[in-house]
Chain A
Amino acid sequence: MSVQSPISSVNDFVVRFANVNGSGSASANELFARSILRHGVPVSPRNIFPSNIQGLPTWYEVRVTEDGHLGARGGVDMMVAMNPQTWDKDVASIEPGGYLFYDSTKPMPTSKFREDIAVIGVPLTAITNSTYTDPRQRQLFKNIIYLGALCALLDLDPKLVEQLIGEQYKGKEKLLSSNVHALHLGRDWALQNLKCPIGLRVKKSDKVGDRIFVEGNSAAALGAVYGGATVCAWYPITPSSSVAEAFTSHCKKYRHDPETGKAKYAIVQGEDELASIGIVIGASWNGARAFTATSGPGISLMTEFIGLSYFAEIPAVIMNIQRAGPSTGMPTRTQQCDVIACAYASHGDTKHVLLFPEDPAEAFEFAAAAFDLAERLQTTIFLMLDLDIGMNHRLCRPLKWDDAKQYDRGKVMTAEMLDEGRDFGRYLDVDGDGIPYRTYPGTHPTKGSYFTRGTSRDRYARYSEEGAVYADNMQRLVRKFETAQDMVPRPLQANAAKPTKYGVLYFGSTSPAMDEAIGILEARGHQLDRMRIRAFPFHSSVASFIADHDFVYVVEQNRDAQLRQLIVNENGIDPVRLVPILHYDGTPITARFIANAIGDHQDHLKVTPLRKAVT
């Protein structure tokens, strides 16, 4: 089918694979993304999948982006349409001039296509059926065959793909050779029967550098290993399960005593989220670094214990891989919707520390730092990832560790300190920072023991329901939270090229889309200073940033502008000055969305662009 103006682009396009869950396409699709990376061209892939094991539609989108824009772009330049169930929707999502790749074994009526797209048919089923007899082989190798055809169509170097297959099936020669054979079946067919390459092409480049390609959940789990976590208690829940699974895998590699082979860690799959956080709190109370990983519904279940952690002042680390809520919501779709639930989790007056990493590299850093913070502050620390970072491979800077770093175990009174005659009051604010000393169980035969409880008590941990004693304790907890302000990662600010009265606040996985959106807006003449919030409690520079601008956009991936609410609530800011930019359909936020939403608002405000838009 001929199209008047097919998209022509080198190293800058989006390919989306539409598959059926359970068809074994995931590894072939990921191989495609990695192959492009081996060409030195950055990619940003995303899994879009249902909360179902088999049969429902699943998509895998690869953004090829020489400019390094790692956010979702929106729109599809080439659709590899392997799922009849979603055909109409898939065809409709192709950009004008884009390409439709499909299995042409059974001819499709022209009414099923669009006139403004190029249709590329490869008889995948016919090829597999004539080559393989085993039904599972037919299914699996069909995926490799379409990968082979794409190699020809997009001008991918087959040797680089073969190299990757070789790494994947190292030591499994039979699988290796059969996969390479399937790859060439597809490639050869395309070269012989189609006009190759098409307008979308991959050309070798050097834009990847030393960056690594890793999932946020795996990086966070590695951060827990480096941060000294020895106890992990968890309960399976999408999209957080792979944190605990990765922690298990990392520990098996790096945490066994070389002499005895015994484990320097304990991992328990709890019977539920309540038990998981209970185990974490028990372990932390007893001086181990412990964490759990969960998602929104898990946070709901854990809130009673989180309140105990806050009030009894017991360290805990919770990695919350956010998904679309409320209730069961959309378990396999991304959002940043647990900000309020985590910031104020549990009954009574509570406030908790939240960390917002932007990518796997920060997930690693913040995860490791969370254990220092938890012990230093003796409270729960939330690492707030989301599905978009957690379950997708993301290109990021290499992970770094300073070998000189020592763990900050916080204020722990030892037997020696007690013997020196130091006054030990479990809830005594010795240093004026709101943080008391604690002792580990078993420290001293006669000194330093205390009773931990969720009920009100005095500075020496003695049960008391006296109003003044309770209020004194609650005020100290506020002081402690203020202390936390200077201990958590500070926000990062970047100013626009030209002076502006407008700013934008954002956090977490919105980061790459925001980076790109700023460029788009600048091209349209809209200058924006920006600040990426990396933690709660908010540093004082957040309030200053807002004060310095007439309007500040707050970009987030939830319906109710939860970060904005928190900023207004905590800083007493006039809500009118904070303009919410909200994306919450479960897909990752895109630069297009941000740029359009802010651009429209600026237009509405009749903001005169500083220079004309570049078209």
Chain B
Amino acid sequence: MTYIAKPKFHHPGLKKNELGYTHRDYEGKISTLCAGCGHDSITASIIEACYELSIEPHRVAKISGIGCSSKTPDYFLGNSHGFNSVHGRMPSVLTGANLANRDLIYLGVSGDGDSASIGFGQFAHSIRRAVNMTYIVENNGVYGLTKGQFSATADRGSKSKKGVTNTDNAIDLVAIALQLGATFVARSFSGDKTQLVPLIAAAIRHKGASFIDVISPCIAFNNHAGSTKSFDYVREHNDAVNRLDVLVGRDPISVDYAPGTVQVVEQHDGSRLALRKLDADYDPHDRLGAQTFLQKHAAKGQIVTGLLYVDPDAEDLHTHLDTVETPLNTLDEQALCPGSAVLDKINASLR
């Protein structure tokens, strides 16, 4: 984390989005992560996705836990409120924030140490509660800040930089998210921005619990031979089931897609997800099928990426709690306090 702000000047001809914001308006402070860190690529993808969606930067609340990944919200959307909470507890803080004001966009950024260990419970429960959020795990399979210990997502048999073999089974957060009822589940790779940017954009537009697991190699401690989270390994074993485009409002569907290879998913907010199928048999509406597909490929050592599951009719926690449309944090005395006359009646009932 840094306090070094980027210089504010920029080229006057920078392209602007629908709201008149340039790409620079979505940037944050200068990253202090290691040069080449996969997390910085994810940061860049978040910036790109928010720019493309023409989101007002200050309408995003970005919340994280503790760790390298959890530092990254400082590096994007500099005009947004950020919250670097405590280790593994991002989901509960985000849930509370979301309950207070349903009108903001909630970006939860976490790491594999953060979400798969101490925060495993909170990860699971925020998913099953259907909190309307985009939950991104920047997954490098290693504890970078404490210099290279295995995390709970490290694959069994993979080797640490010191040559130690991991004998524990890995937790697959995507499989867990699917099982717990996440209504938007994707996996991607920090080195594949073309795939990742639209996935993030689609997750933001999705109303419900969106989860994206992004394999993000740790350049310092997990990018060696024997690692299953290195750039080389992921590139060699990546099996993308689809490519995604997010079509907002009246954008036409691109003519580039050959008929029969594009599946359009329309969401409640009017946005459409155009899925270009790479695996002709893959159905992203089949939760059970996604789980099976994932496990079969994992057994073969393949890393399945893409939009793995989406429910366009998803509901969120506010729907389940049937809360008013007005954000709870704006309700005043008149809306909240029953008043003295009611209290007199309550008193009378207690005699």
Contacts and interface: CB of A to CB of B under 8 A. Distances in A.
Interface string B69-103: 00001100011111111100101111111111101
Given A286-B61, A441-B81, A446-B79, A213 B332 contact: no
Interface in A269-309: 270-272, 274-288, 290, 304-305, 308
A257 B124 CA distance: 32
Nearest to A288: B100
A274 B92 contact: yes
A226 B329 CA distance: 15
Contacts of B84: 451-455
Contacts of B350: 212-214
Tell me if A's interface is mostly helix, strand, loop or mixed. Answer: loop
A503 B80 CA distance: 55
B337 A287 contact: no
B85 to A, nearest CB: 7
A222 B339 CA distance: 11
Interface in B328-351: 328-333, 335-340, 342-344, 346-347, 350-351
Interface stretch (A82-90, A114-122, A176-184, A260-268): A260-268
A449 B29 CA distance: 13
Contacts of A212: 347, 350-351
B99 A283 contact: yes
Nearest to A233: B96
Interface stretch (B38-46, B51-59, B160-168, B235-243): B51-59
Interface in A197-230: 208, 210-214, 222, 225-226, 228, 230
Interface string A395-412: 000111111011100000
Interface stretch (B135-143, B251-259, B281-289, B317-325): B317-325
A231 B98 CA distance: 11
B347 A282 contact: no
B261 interface: no
B125 interface: yes
B346 A222 contact: yes
Contacts of A231: 96, 99-100, 328
Contacts of B79: 445-446, 449
A464 interface: yes
Chain B contact patch, size range: 35 or more
B96 A228 contact: no
Contact of B99 (A279, A308, A399, A445): A279
B95 A282 contact: yes
Nearest to A253: B338
Given A445-B57, A454-B84, A400 B99 contact: no
B264 interface: no
Interface string A448-491: 01111111001000111000000000000000000000000000
Given A264-B324, A288-B101, A453-B1, 8 more contacts: A213-B351, A230-B100, A282-B97, A286-B100, A286-B101, A406-B333, A442-B103, A452-B84
11 contacts: A254-B338, A257-B324, A262-B323, A264-B328, A272-B121, A282-B94, A283-B329, A285-B100, A286-B101, A440-B329, A449-B82
Interface of B: 1-3, 56-59, 61, 63, 73-74, 78-86, 89, 91-101, 103-104, 121-122, 124-125, 129, 317-318, 321-325, 328-333, 335-340, 342-344, 346-347, 350-351
Interface of A: 208, 210-214, 222, 225-226, 228, 230-231, 233, 254-255, 257, 260-268, 270-272, 274-288, 290, 304-305, 308, 398-403, 405-407, 439-446, 449-455, 458, 462-464
